[in-house]
Homo-oligomer: A and B are copies of this chain.
């Protein structure tokens, strides 16, 4: 008699938590658990803005997957998923044979949402994964190194598209990095331009106004230029063209303006809205009892109505989805039923503004400055703890 096969695609927050939960809640003879991920490591999305600016090494934003899972219980396959054939309960891989599943958990993450902005995919950089942020950092440093010879201002002008969480956190790191970078490349600090462009009427749209003002004031004091209410119309090899025709010349345009679901999900035939799947209360894809979507490719609404805005895709919601499935899917695999629906419980949100500053809301409390920065670090440590316990916190964490 064969035991149920659970296949988890992607070792992001949702996928990893699902895998770890299932391994904990099911015995070895109850299910075969397979985790597939393109890289040998999990990357900590909420920290990618640091290596992107070069304020910390990219190794601080990744964790080896075999080091945080029980490899006796979870079969780990490092490979790229090339397709999902839901009708045949099969997943196609680039370098391995197709794998069969009884239950599929899809946590394949997101892709940049460009909102149709011309030239963005070709000419902009994206804070997306280890490879992409390492490239941003190296590109920026190369441009700075060229400035000493070529003296062109666009080489030391950085345009950040989008002033949401990632955009603001990245700008905060850039501000921290610049004094060191300028010293290293013999560039007067005041020559560097960091321009943050946002289409919405305000920085951090939807966030508490008082905290937004705090962040803007702090960053403007450090020399950041904010241009709000102004969509980018085109990204070229030379920089960006804003709505209205104004051009900002920049050798380094980093787009943080939004994400959409993974293309593979769309291609699988599952119904999507901008590449994301409106999952049911048990995180199942519509029409597929045995297919679950977690993380950035899933769409969760606070209530019943679709007129509300869905929760934004975050590490926090992905983690909770993974924790939920780790418990509930274990029951179903055993032949039981889901005994409660997934309910996202926002614990608060903190955005860092470099190493020593942050803003955030935790519970009903607004936090700024050192307190918020401390809270942000606690949140980072909590994720390390969930991933790899105290030992990982000690190995990778820093306060």
Q: A residues near B, CB below 8 A?
A: 130-132, 134-135, 137-139, 141-142, 144-146, 148-149, 185-186
Contact of A138 among B130, B132, B142 (CB under 8 A): B142
Q: Which B residue sits closest to A148, measured CB to CB?
A: B131
Q: Point out the residues of chain B lying under 8 angstroms from A144, CB to CB.
A: 138
Which residue from B142, B146, B185, B186 sits with its C-beta under 8 Å from A141? Answer: B142
| Interface contact B145-A135, CB-CB below 8 Å | yes
Q: Which 8 A-B pairs have the closest CB atoms?
A: A138-B145, A138-B142, A131-B148, A142-B142, A135-B145, A134-B145, A138-B141, A131-B149
- In the bound complex, residues from chain B placing their C-beta under 8 Å from that of A138 are 138, 141-142, 144-146
Query: 10 additional contacts, CB 8 Å, given A139-B145, A141-B141, A141-B142?
Result: A130-B148, A131-B148, A132-B149, A134-B148, A134-B185, A135-B142, A135-B148, A138-B138, A138-B141, A139-B142
Q: How far is the CA of A25 from the CA of B218 in the complex (A)?
A: 56
In the complex, which residues of chain B have a beta carbon less than 8 angstroms from the beta carbon of A139? 142, 145
Main secondary structure of the interface of A (DSSP, over half): helix
Q: Looking at the complex, which one of B131, B132, B146 makes contact with A135 (CB distance below 8 Å)?
A: B146
Question: Which residue of chain B is the closest to A133 with respect to CB atoms?
Answer: B145
Interface centre among A134, A137, A139, A146 (most CB of B within 10 A): A134
- CB neighbours (8 Å) of A185 from chain B are 134
In the bound complex, CA of A185 to CA of B57 (Å):
11
Q: Which residue of B lies closest to A185 (CB)?
A: B134
Q: In the complex, A33→B382 CA distance in Å?
A: 64
Instruction: List 7 contacting pairs A-B, 8 Å CB cutoff, sorted by A.
Output: A131-B145, A134-B145, A135-B145, A135-B149, A138-B142, A138-B144, A138-B145
Contact partners of A132 in chain B: CB under 8 A: 149
Residues of B within 8 Å of A146, CB to CB, are: 135, 138
Give the residues in chain B near A131, CB-CB below 8 Å.
145, 148-149, 186
CA distance A149 to B134 in the complex (A): 10
Whole-angstrom CA separation of A144 from B142 in the bound complex: 12
In the complex, what distance in Å separates the CA atom of A41 from the CA atom of B371? 43
Report A373 CB to chain B, min CB distance, Å. Answer: 28
Nearest to A139 among chain B residues (CB) is B142
Beta-carbon nearest neighbor of A143 in chain B: B138
A130 cross-chain contacts in B, Cβ below 8 A: 148, 186
Q: Which residues of B lie under 8 Å from residue A135 when comparing CB positions?
A: 142, 145-146, 148-149
Which residue from chain B places its CB closest to the CB of A135 in the assembled complex?
Answer: B145
Q: Give Cα A168 to B145, complex, Å.
A: 24
